[in-house]
Structure formats: structure tokens, C-alpha cells
């Protein structure tokens, strides 16, 4: 299987670091309004440094296994036709942390779609690690040259570094989703995950991360009302990542591993099948098994 490379090491390695630094900046900004003490400021700085040292910089780039997947589970092959499927967003969409190409979320979902549709599914990954909601426009620009039939968007974990409010970040997401829908693409959005399960972020900084991510996820869902997109709250996975971190996180303890992405794909696949129109007017509770 041919494996392509994605971002430069500088961008990849700095993603989690930028997010944690930005979270500390946001904490200081909140505290400056509410009366953050010098001791609290020092604590947040110390915890930010501690988390960066534990997580470290990823040494590997995310796999890329774009191509066409067949209903019998084979692929990727160089072929056109069938159902076109685009993946947009940040490292969670790109699959950073997956141990092998087969474990990428886009690959797992493409195989599930192909099995359910009985048709080839052509996967194209537009997602770039380190992306924020403000970066989605460039990804959508590329896709609109030949819009995919169905798309998945997952973004939000890096938005804190942009120092924008959650409502603004959510509207940036909704704007790009509306562009895809207007082009004839059926869209499923996985909202910002609960970052309170990232244990290398110590308390109380982790509680701030949790509050921020949950607020952003809710804002994303509100902003997407009436957009035509299906919304999957990834907080459905919070309990699993909180109670099974050794099973579901990659070695950096920040990004999911293949099993973690499989868990996410398991809740996304049914809405994705429905968005692709594979069931007509019916909408069963399940879809083909994610492999």
C-alpha cells in the first residue's frame, strides 16, 4: 500500500504545543477579567510547561491512504467512480496517532461506506493537522473543484490558539459547511471532543480545557441548525476516553490511536451512511461494521 506524507514536521510537531500554550493564554485572559491572582497565573504557566514536556513533539507524520476502497474491503486502488467521500478538519480528521493506514478514520469510514453501498468509495483527505476553523475555507476551496458526494468535518481542538470566542469559531465552521452543502455535498460534522480526558494536561488547566471544548461543541451544534448537515456530538465518546486512556490514546497521550479512531468511526458511520442516501427514506440504527 502506498503511503503518502502530509504536513511538515514543524507544523505537525507544534500542534499540541500551540494548543496548550493557547489554552494557558485563554486562561490568563479569562482570569484578567475575573481577577486571576499572581499565584494562579504562575500555576497555569507551570502546568502548560508540564503538559508540553509530557506530550512532546510527534516524530511521525500522519499516514495518507487516499484512493478507492471496494465493497469487499480491498483498497486503496487507483480508480475513479463510485461514491466520493471527503474528510475535512484537523489532526483528528487526518488521523494523527493511528498506527497504520488501515486505522485512519477516513479509511475505516470509506470501507464501511463501500460495504454498505455495495459500490467503490473514493476517499480524499483534505484535513491538515494543526488546522483551526478559520483554516477550513482553504480546504473547502480545494474540494469545490470537484465536490465530494459526502463529507465528514471534524475541527475545534486548535481553535483556542486563535483567541476567538466559541461563537465566532462555530460560525466559521458553519459557513464552510454551508458552502459544501450548497455545492451538493451531504455533510456530517463531528463536534469538538471533550478534552478533559487528556491526562497530560494537569488540573486545574485540564478543567479549563474541558469547559472550553464542551462549550465549543455546543456552539458548533447550534450554529449548524438549519445548515443541512448532520451533527454527531463526539462527547458521546467522553466516558470511554476518560476511563480507557491506555487503550484509546496514542503514545503522545494527546491524539487517539487506531482503536480510538475506530470508536469514533463507530458513532459517525451510521449518520454518514444516511447522509450519503444509502438507505433512502429509512434510517436504521446501525450501518456496516467499521473494520
240 is catalytic: no
60 is catalytic: no
* Closest to 212 (Cα-Cα) out of 252, 167, 171: 167
> What sign does the dihedral 92-214-189-21 (CA atoms) show?
negative
Give the three-state DSSP class for 218: helix
Residue by residue, DSSP assigns 55-66 as H---SSPPPB--
CB 120 within 8 A of CB 69: yes
Question: For 205, left (φ over 0), alpha (ψ -120 to 50), or beta?
Answer: alpha
Question: For 89, left (φ over 0), alpha (ψ -120 to 50), or beta?
Answer: left
Instruction: Determine the Cα–Cα distance for residues 257 and 219; give it in Å rounded to an integer.
Output: 27
**Catalytic option among 48, 66, 91, 250:** 91
Phi/psi for 85 (5° steps) reads -135, 120
Three cell numbers, residue 217: 461543541
Q: Would you please indicate which residues are annotated as catalytic (active-site) residues?
A: 91, 252, 255
Amino acid at each position: 500500500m502506498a503511503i503518502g506524507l502530509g504536513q511538515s514536521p514543524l507544523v505537525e510537531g507544534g500542534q499540541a504545543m500551540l494548543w496548550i500554550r493557547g489554552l494557558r493564554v485563554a486562561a490568563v485572559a479569562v482570569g484578567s477579567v475575573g481577577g486571576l491572582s499572581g499565584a494562579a497565573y504562575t500555576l497555569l504557566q507551570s502546568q502548560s510547561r508540564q503538559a508540553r514536556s509530557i506530550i512532546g513533539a510527534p516524530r511521525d507524520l500522519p499516514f495518507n491512504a487516499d484512493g478507492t476502497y471496494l465493497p469487499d474491503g480491498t483498497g486503496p486502488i487507483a480508480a475513479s467512480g463510485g461514491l466520493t467521500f471527503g474528510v475535512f478538519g484537523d489532526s483528528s480528521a487526518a488521523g494523527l496517532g493511528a498506527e497504520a493506514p488501515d486505522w485512519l478514520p477516513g479509511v475505516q469510514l470509506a470501507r464501511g461506506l463501500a460495504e454498505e453501498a455495495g459500490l467503490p468509495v473514493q476517499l480524499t483527505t483534505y484535513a491538515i493537522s494543526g488546522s483551526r476553523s478559520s483554516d477550513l475555507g482553504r480546504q473547502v476551496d480545494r474540494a469545490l473543484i470537484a465536490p465530494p458526494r459526502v463529507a465528514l468535518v471534524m475541527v475545534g481542538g486548535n481553535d483556542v490558539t486563535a483567541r476567538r470566542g466559541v461563537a465566532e469559531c462555530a460560525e466559521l465552521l458553519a459557513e464552510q459547511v454551508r458552502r459544501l452543502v450548497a455545492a451538493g455535498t451531504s455533510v456530517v460534522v463531528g463536534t469538538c471532543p471533550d478534552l478533559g480526558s487528556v491526562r497530560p494536561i494537569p488540573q486545574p488547566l485540564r478543567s479549563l480545557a474541558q469547559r472550553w471544548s464542551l462549550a465549543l461543541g455546543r456552539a458548533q451544534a447550534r450554529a449548524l441548525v438549519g445548515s443541512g448537515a448532520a451533527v454527531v456530538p463526539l462527547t458521546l465518546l467522553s466516558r470511554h476516553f476518560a476511563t480507557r486512556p491506555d487503550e484509546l490514546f496514542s503514545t503522545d497521550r494527546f491524539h487517539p490511536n487506531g482503536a480510538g479512531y475506530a470508536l469514533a468511526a463507530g458513532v459517525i458511520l451510521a449518520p454518514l451512511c444516511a447522509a450519503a442516501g444509502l438507505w433512502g427514506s429509512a434510517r436504521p440504527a446501525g450501518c456496516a461494521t467499521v473494520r
